[in-house]
Structure 1
């Protein structure tokens, strides 16, 4: 699994979104460059469709939704829709599973000011939908809370400064 490096994350706010608002319809688009090892996070009330590589489809999209009055961070990853065979879909699924911790850490860390302003969302559940035409790779899974991901980054930074 790749290690999260805050210095390799670039965050861009799509107006009218700011570091503090909105909650409703707040959307995250996380993309990356394998070439330079950088992560790019766009935060807005729309997804950053221009940043998506439609040949690779390796982005992570997420947004805040309410279900029964409670906020949930709901993420989506695109595994396949018939353009990949079962073996390639399995590989994509496994890569997403392996790298999702890094992706969610980048999203949450990149929007950490938002959680300072809205601390109740630190304990909101995170669900990830793996979208695939193959039933075994088409699932929704629970991935903890934003607090979990911020604590990971903070504990690593404390450990690194003590060494």
Structure 2
């Protein structure tokens, strides 16, 4: 993300700047029948986005010195929890590099501001899936912010995908966070047919706190190798 240029400007999705790669998945299949994950990266040189849609995170897309330093990738996965589909999105705020620690607050603001663009990229890139299963537009979006700073190490519910992917009237995506009346979805403890996939497709494994928080839940930061 071009952090300086976009800091005060509107977050606008441009389809012409999105490159979509389908890696080993059928773009027309329902995610309940096949694992489905998104890996989105941004090039500061070309200002273009690359979205890989696959059965797991596309680690090869995250290699290279620039990605390792800036950590501006966004990864996500569709999950069915107790019969309800939801989209789980992960962002690296800080940890692993002192520069990221220094600007954690700014990075949190920028990620929140750009998230509607990210979600719009998912919707556009996986358009056939959303057209074939329009009910997924009403699925809740859960955003996991990973940070070694407790204030920014949190989980937020951004509401239904159709609303979370739409820019707010003021152009500030960070204002779209929804207060959730329910807890972070938890899979069944025993083997069942209502949860899928059983294991996360993403190396980051967020855990709920034990303080009863509902709309905001702290997560454990696990650096992706």
TM-score when normalising by structure 1? 0.84
Show the counterpart of 2:211. none
Unaligned residue ranges in structure 1 (runs of 5+): 153-163
What root-mean-square deviation, in Å, do the aligned CA atoms of Structure 1 and Structure 2 show? 1.8
The CA deviation at 1:46 is: 1.2
Higher-Rg structure is 2
Show the counterpart of 2:14. 5
Show the counterpart of 1:70. 84
Does the CA-based 8 Å contact 2:120-2:165 persist in structure 1? yes
Does the CA-based 8 Å contact 1:108-1:149 persist in structure 2? no
120, 145, 154: which is aligned to 1:130?
A: 145
42, 51, 57: which is aligned to 1:32?
A: 42
Secondary structure at the residue paired with 2:68? Answer: coil
Greater percentage in strand: 1
Does the CA-based 8 Å contact 1:66-1:72 persist in structure 2? yes
2:96 and 2:42 map into 1 onto residues whose CA distance is 24
Show the counterpart of 1:48. 58
1:19 aligns with 2:34: no
1:123 and 1:145 map into 2 onto residues whose CA distance is 5
Count of residues paired in the alignment: 151
1:67 and 1:140 map into 2 onto residues whose CA distance is 17
Unaligned residue ranges in structure 2 (runs of 5+): 1-9, 168-225
